[in-house]
């Protein structure tokens, strides 16, 4: 198929200083959790983005010196010649596809851990180190010799960037790292020529830009990543705009981000597509140089609008390029319905925050390009003309059926419920989670075009039915039930009174039970569900208390960048929060808690309790089939496998990955992991 000509503006080349981008699709710097530690994994990932049509593909933030690190988060690195060789792998992979490679030169500051280097952080002043994992420490207020040393680090790194083959070299001046902090009056209290007036505060950034510019002149483009002030921010917008004016036409490209990560990297619960664009337009109007920015663009029309309306010159993307590395190609080939849209869950970001390679809820191949050799658009043909029965059409079953269908197997997908979707059907109805439905809908869209896959909703299969269907392979994806006994990550014992009928399971809630009056949501799961359910019940008119044995509500959501805006939403809804308390008993009217640490327990009024904790794998079918294994034994080659929540309850991304993996591994004698580290 050919591309719709109205999207032509997205495919026009554009010059950036001395280099030319082949189109307007620009993968901005984004973390991978791979960085300097996993150069081959990283090169495979970035090369794949270029293959998918991204005209510019950048590294993540790239440390310029061994005095700056964010351990345990592995940044990229250009600290020495070994790093040059490592990053060459990436630039070669990107260039092989005709794209430009960009590197984001970074120096940390008081927000960085330096746990690897053991060096004190340098910054604009003696500031308390904010890195969560750092012991109490303060940065060194840079003197003139430190400033000169920093400038030299940038110069050296710029030379290495050229050696490594980069076409675009960034100076990174946002997200509260060192160069950003010099711009901000709240941090910059200096009385020398680097502090005070805006001209002085911008001096260091200007010097670094000029230093790097001199070195790369004529060979690579110079980009600056800068924070656009948002109306919601505490930073004085005028300050950042005034500083921008002073530099507006110096670099070859502006990459406009935001210093409020809650918005730039906002979860879809609170932040929708193109959220930054007003703020971007304000800075774009002040420069003649090309501008790139992000907005979790998943709609080709919204992307097009950014270019035709002149809000920005490149469609910047991190998450949309993770969920679908082939997004540009699909637009180019007129295959819009094949675009796998990001759901804005931020699981990708969470894993980097945990110091682990990224993964994606929508795209199970992300991060597995080198390790397992997975390609999002290519999959081996079926190993034999055989049939597969997939039982359960939640995320795991849907993904398994989709990937098996692509391989060419005859697939039956049986689902007990009226509609395929499993947990997605329930969770996407919770406040803010509508985009989660894309996990189901993209797969159903793909399956609808596969003649070899039949979906049978409203078909609960038992062991007899499975055996009768006589498929060569059976994949069980039957999910899990929410437990009602309050057990979870902290709570190992059931609470007294958990069998009471005013204890409502999440499954019952999703099926229509609506507790009212005083409702305790007891969250021992710590991800998004507890808070989302509390918000839903509050909207339905219940007086909700969200209680948790953790010391923050939805504590894991700080990795997915949902935490702050969730706290605000809970406060706005008037939901009472009780932390550090374990549920021990319930009787209609009252619930009793004991402290996780020391101190008094609490007693709360409660008409209903909704526990959000552990789940019970739906394992009956698996167990029965195992017990009747001899009935299968006669059938040579038959395989039975269980995947997703019925095997090990987890997050949606894990279920999708399990489904994909089962499909890839069918007919293979070995696990699909080929390599997971570089061995010297
Ligand atoms: P996962 O996240 O592992 O995909 P879900 O709970 O989202 O798990 O989905 C499991 C699906 O399996 C649900 O839609 C459920 O209705 C379905 N299911 C469970 N048991 C059976 C069964 N015996 N036959 C058919 N479908 C089943
Ligand atoms: Fe989007 Fe979630 Fe995938 Fe990240 S993990 S790219 S937010 S779908």
| Cα R_g (the chain), whole angstroms | 27
**What is the three-class DSSP state of 547?**
strand
Report the atom number in ligand 2 closest to the C-alpha of 341: 8
Instruction: Note the pTM of the prediction, 2 decimals.
Output: 0.97
Ligand 2: does its nearest atom lie under 6 Å from the Cβ of 322?
A: yes
pLDDT in tens, 276-289: 888 899 999 999 99
HSE-CB at 172 with a 13 A cutoff on CA atoms is: 26
The sign of the dihedral angle between the CA atoms of 552, 556, 558, 563 is negative
Ligand 1: does its nearest atom lie under 6 Å from the Cβ of 662?
A: no
Which residues on adjacent β-strands are paired with residue 411?
388, 453
Nearest ligand to the CA of 392 is: 1
pLDDT of residue 234: 56
* Closest CA to ligand 1's atom 21: 478
Ligand 1: does its nearest atom lie under 6 Å from the Cβ of 290?
A: no
CA distance 448 to 53: 26
Distance from residue 558's CA to the centre of ligand 2 (Å): 15
Ligand 1: does its nearest atom lie under 6 Å from the Cβ of 361?
A: no
Kindly indicate the confidence band of residue 206, based on its pLDDT and cuts at 50, 70 and 90.
very high
Nearest ligand to the CA of 654 is: 1
pLDDT in tens, 404-430: 999 999 999 999 999 999 999 999 999
* Closest CA to ligand 2's atom 1: 342
pLDDT in tens, 179-199: 999 999 999 999 999 999 999
Distance from residue 416's CA to the centre of ligand 1 (Å): 7
pLDDT in tens, 150-174: 999 999 999 999 999 999 999 999 9
Q: How many residues does the chain have?
A: 680
Report the atom number in ligand 2 closest to the C-alpha of 359: 5
**What is the three-class DSSP state of 162?**
helix
The dihedrals phi and psi of 259, each to the nearest 5 degrees, come to: -85, -5
The dihedrals phi and psi of 239, each to the nearest 5 degrees, come to: -60, -50
Cα 206 to chain centroid, rounded: 33
CA distance 478 to 475: 9
Which residues on adjacent β-strands are paired with residue 119?
none
pLDDT in tens, 11-68: 999 999 999 999 999 999 999 999 999 999 999 999 999 999 999 999 999 999 999 9
Ligand 2: does its nearest atom lie under 6 Å from the Cβ of 91?
A: no
For 543, left (φ over 0), alpha (ψ -120 to 50), or beta?
Answer: beta
Any residues with CB less than 8 A from the CB of 578 and at least 6 apart, and which? 545, 546, 547, 548, 593, 602, 604
Ligand 1: does its nearest atom lie under 6 Å from the Cβ of 427?
A: no
CA distance 101 to 17: 14
Q: Is 522 a catalytic residue?
A: no
Kindly indicate the confidence band of residue 264, based on its pLDDT and cuts at 50, 70 and 90.
confident
pLDDT of residue 637: 63
Give me the catalytic one of 177, 194, 270, 563: 177
Ligand 1: does its nearest atom lie under 6 Å from the Cβ of 55?
A: no
DSSP-derived secondary structure for 397-446: HHHHHHHHHHHT-EEEEE-SSSSTTTHHHHHTTSTT-GGGHHHHHHHHHH
Reference 31, options 292, 295, 318, 297; nearest CA is 318
Distance from residue 542's CA to the centre of ligand 1 (Å): 30
Kindly indicate the confidence band of residue 270, based on its pLDDT and cuts at 50, 70 and 90.
very high
Nearest ligand to the CA of 426 is: 1
Distance from residue 80's CA to the centre of ligand 1 (Å): 51
Q: Give the residue-averaged pLDDT of 295-319.
A: 96
Ligand 1: does its nearest atom lie under 6 Å from the Cβ of 659?
A: no
């Amino acid at each position: 198929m050919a591309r719709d000509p109205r999207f032509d503006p997205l495919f026009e080349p554009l010059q950036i200083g001395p280099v030319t981008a082949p189109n307007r699709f620009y993968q901005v710097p984004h973390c991978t959790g791979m960085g300097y530690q996993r150069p081959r994994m990283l090169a495979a990932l970035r090369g794949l983005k270029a293959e998918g049509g991204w005209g510019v593909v950048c590294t993540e933030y790239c440390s310029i010196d061994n005095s700056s690190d964010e351990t345990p988060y592995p940044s990229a690195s250009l600290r020495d010649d070994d790093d040059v060789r490592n990053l060459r792998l990436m630039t070669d992979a990107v260039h092989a596809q005709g794209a430009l490679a960009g590197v984001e030169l970074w120096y940390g500051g008081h927000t960085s851990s330096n746990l690897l280097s053991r060096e004190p952080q340098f910054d604009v002043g003696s500031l308390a180190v904010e890195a969560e994992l750092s012991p109490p420490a303060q940065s060194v207020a840079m003197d003139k010799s430190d400033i000169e040393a920093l400038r030299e680090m940038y110069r050296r790194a710029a030379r290495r960037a050229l050696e490594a083959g980069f076409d675009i070299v960034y100076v990174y001046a946002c997200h509260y790292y060192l160069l950003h902090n010099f711009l901000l009056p709240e941090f910059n209290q200096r009385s020398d020529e680097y502090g005070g007036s805006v001209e002085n505060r911008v001096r260091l950034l200007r010097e670094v830009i000029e230093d790097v510019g001199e070195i790369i002149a004529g060979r690579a483009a110079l980009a600056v990543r800068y924070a656009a002030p948002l109306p919601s921010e505490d930073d004085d917008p005028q300050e950042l705009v005034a500083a921008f004016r002073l530099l507006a036409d110096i670099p070859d490209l502006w990459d406009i981000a935001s210093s409020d990560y809650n918005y730039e990297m906002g979860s879809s619960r609170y932040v929708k597509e193109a959220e930054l664009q007003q703020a971007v337009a304000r800075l774009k109007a002040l420069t003649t140089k090309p501008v790139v920015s992000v907005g979790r663009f998943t709609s080709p029309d919204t992307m097009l609008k950014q270019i035709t309306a002149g809000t920005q010159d490149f469609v910047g993307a991190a998450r949309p390029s993770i969920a679908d590395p082939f997004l540009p190609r699909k637009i180019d080939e007129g295959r819009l319905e094949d675009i796998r849209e990001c759901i804005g869950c931020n699981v990708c970001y969470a894993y980097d925050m945990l110091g682990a390679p990224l993964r994606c809820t929508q795209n199970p191949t992300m991060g597995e390009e080198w390790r397992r050799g997975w390609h999002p658009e290519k999959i081996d043909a079926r190993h034999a003309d055989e049939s597969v029965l997939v039982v359960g059409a939640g995320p795991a079953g849907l993904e398994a059926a989709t990937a098996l269908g692509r391989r060419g197997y005859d697939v039956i997908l049986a689902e007990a419920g009226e509609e395929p979707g499993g947990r997605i059907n329930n969770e996407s109805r919770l406040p803010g989670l509508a985009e989660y439905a894309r996990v189901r809908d993209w797969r159903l869209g793909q399956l609808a075009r596969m003649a070899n896959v039949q979906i049978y909703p409203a078909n609960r299969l038992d062991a007899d039915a499975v055996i009768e269907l006589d498929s060569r392979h059976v994949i069980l994806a039957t999910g899990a039930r929410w437990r009602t006994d309050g057990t979870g990550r902290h709570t190992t014992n059931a609470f007294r009174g958990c069998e009471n009928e005013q204890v409502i399971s999440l499954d019952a809630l999703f099926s229509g039970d609506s507790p009212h009056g005083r409702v305790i949501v007891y969250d021992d799961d710590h991800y998004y569900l507890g808070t989302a359910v509390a918000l839903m019940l509050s909207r339905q008119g219940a007086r909700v208390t969200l209680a948790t044995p953790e010391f923050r509500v939805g504590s894991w959501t700080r990795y997915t960048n949902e935490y702050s805006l969730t706290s605000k939403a809970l406060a706005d809804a008037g939901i009472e929060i009780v932390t550090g308390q374990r549920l021990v008993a319930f009787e209609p009217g009252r619930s009793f808690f004991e402290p996780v640490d020391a101190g008094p327990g609490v007693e709360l009024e409660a008409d209903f309790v909704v526990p959000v904790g552990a789940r019970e794998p739906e394992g009956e079918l698996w167990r029965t089939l195992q017990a009747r294994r001899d009935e299968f034994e006669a059938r040579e080659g038959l395989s039975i496998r269980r995947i997703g929540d019925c095997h090990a309850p987890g997050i949606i991304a894990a279920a999708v990955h399990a489904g994909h993996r089962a499909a890839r591994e069918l007919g293979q004698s070995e696990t699909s992991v080929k390599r997971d580290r570089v061995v010297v």
